[in-house]
Structure 1
Amino acid sequence: MVQPARAPVAKVGLSTASVYPESTAAAFEIAGRLGYDGVEVMVWTDPVSQDVEALRRLADAHGVPVLAVHAPCLLITQRVWSTDPWTKLERARSAAERLGASTVVVHPPFRWQRAYAREFVAGIWRMADETDVRFAVENMYPWRYRDREMLAYAPDWDPTRDDYRHFTIDLSHTATSRADTLAMLDRMGDRLGHVHIADGNGSAKDEHLVPGRGVQPCAELLQRLAARRFDGHVVVEVNTRRAMSAAEREADLAEALAYTRRHLTPAPYGTHDPAGTWRP
């Protein structure tokens, strides 16, 4: 007899970047109203995103825990939490520990951060050894303009070419890099610690579409995670800047949540999982 499907193991979170240009505080309120399991805080120029006590108050007020902290690695956050990249990671780790978050998401260094890039792999291992928080290094992409390509990240935009304890896979970035998403997932294996679910069409622009609106194998990836009982977090990180209203933005975020939960639900026993294995 086929048993009913079980609930997802992984929690589904909302990146605070997904509500931009609305605020970090708005992200907590929206996540709570739509039924997300928590948030990933993108630490950026919004002062609230940098303030651990303010984040704690928001989490308590809305009943929405912080699942992950995204360290300030973007070009626009080069002066957030210091100009020293290691200080940024130390503060991200401290914030995660104080907020009860399990993961710090970090990008590979920019190539012009030469000293940081030289020490990055060893430094991430060192920091990972000092805490229970996962440092999950995220896949990025080459920068493209017309027929030119610039390798902006070092040691590499593809973190699977180096040795890290944990990875983040971002499906908008796999689209932009034109990488084989499922092959990257296989290379990450059981070191995959975190997922940014989004979509893309393979353009030079990092699109962060609502999953299901591009060409990425979002559904298959989520089904594979469900089949192996992935216990990390799956975070919706989509671009809603073009939303014409708050209602349209929330509709997009509700659609993304429903899509993710639907495909992340483990198949019932007595069926074939996405890899084709019979599960009696």
Structure 2
Amino acid sequence: MTRIGLSTVSVYPESTAHAFGYARTIGYDAVEVMVGVDALSQQTAAVAQLSEHHEMPVSAVHAPCLLFTQRVWGTEPWGKLERSAEMAHAVGAATVVVHPPFRWQRDYAATFVEGIAKLEATTGLAFAVENMYPWRASSRRGMQMYLPHWDPSTEDYANTTIDLSHAAIAKDDVVAMAQRLGSRLRHIHLTDGTDSAKDEHLVPGRGTTGADRFLRHLAASGFDGEIVLEINTRKASSKQSREADLRESLEFAREHFRP
């Protein structure tokens, strides 16, 4: 059965520990751990303890492959993925979420597709490659900053992730992307965005991606992977305001995803 999970990055600048607390209080089914600058997120034992304490399973580990996590767990990209797999095994997660390489990581990019397949074979985990977007400073045409491509449907990955905020920047229709990916779509970062160059990560329903239509499509097509809310609550004026956004996001997901 598809679970509705919460990404720990959704509560930033609060900590990974707070994310588990919010997830339990509000009623999420699971947590996705974003390995980032929060020291707790980098410690497998701490994540396992949080999961046990809050009785909240970990659905996925998001590898530290963002710009601001380039030095988390070292700078060697394959080493980061191997450590992410080790954490996933230790905490009972079946999925590692990973971004495609940046264009300046040419050696990494040259063997990325084959390397991901090899990691899946050796670890038994799904490495769900996430859609990214062209970088653009305005509404003009963007620059390709990811290799082999920002759109995972262009490559032969066995497992993929759709992030709705990223699709908004790329001006891609999320239902069409899901149709291109078919059964290879295993993971969702549910959020929202508008026709902006910024990675907004809005509460679903507050943007223009058609998040409700997308969820209905997933339900109708028999999607049985993980749905994870990954929203930006940095501007929340209080814990109560942050909790309200997290609760609204969960209610939106459950209203529109009805298998």
> 1:113 is matched with which residue?
105
1:206-228 deviations in Å (ceiling 9; x for gaps) = 11000010111211211122223
Separation of aligned partners in 2, 1:42 and 1:261: 23
> 1:176 is matched with which residue?
169
Amino acid at match of 2:179: D
Amino acid at match of 2:71: R
Q: Which runs of 5+ in 1 are unaligned?
A: 1-8, 267-280
Based on CA coordinates, which of the two structures has the bigger radius of gyration? 1
1:146-189 deviations in Å (ceiling 9; x for gaps) = 34622111011111111100000000110011012111110110
Measure how far apart 1:132 and its partner are.
2.3
Any conservation in 1 of the 2:173–2:209 contact (CA below 8 Å)? no
Separation of aligned partners in 2, 1:197 and 1:42: 15
After TM superposition, the structure 1 = structure 2 runs for residues 183-262 of structure 1, keeping only pairs within 5 Å, are 183-262=176-255
Separation of aligned partners in 1, 2:71 and 2:133: 23
Separation of aligned partners in 1, 2:90 and 2:125: 11
Any conservation in 1 of the 2:202–2:231 contact (CA below 8 Å)? yes
After TM superposition, the structure 1 = structure 2 runs for residues 9-88 of structure 1, keeping only pairs within 5 Å, are 9-88=1-80
> 1:167 is matched with which residue?
160
Q: What is the aligned-residue identity percentage? A: 57
3-state SS of paired residue (2:176): helix
Amino acid at match of 2:60: A
Separation of aligned partners in 2, 1:46 and 1:132: 27
Amino acid at match of 1:45: V
TM-score (norm 2): 0.98
Amino acid at match of 1:141: Y
Separation of aligned partners in 2, 1:101 and 1:224: 26
Separation of aligned partners in 1, 2:3 and 2:103: 34
3-state SS of paired residue (1:212): coil
Measure how far apart 1:131 and its partner are.
2.3
Separation of aligned partners in 2, 1:82 and 1:131: 21
Residue 259 of structure 2 is aligned to residue 263 of structure 1: no
> 1:270 is matched with which residue?
none
**Aligned pair partner of 2:116 in 124, 130, 135:** 124
Measure how far apart 1:258 and its partner are.
0.5
**Aligned pair partner of 2:94 in 102, 111, 121:** 102
TM-score (norm 1): 0.90
Measure how far apart 1:56 and its partner are.
0.6
Q: Which has the higher contact order (CA 8 A, sep 6+)?
A: 1
Measure how far apart 1:231 and its partner are.
1.6
3-state SS of paired residue (2:133): coil
Separation of aligned partners in 2, 1:145 and 1:212: 25
3-state SS of paired residue (1:150): coil
1:68-120 deviations in Å (ceiling 9; x for gaps) = 00000011111111110000000001111111001100000000001001010
Report the RMSD for the aligned CA atoms in angstroms: 0.9
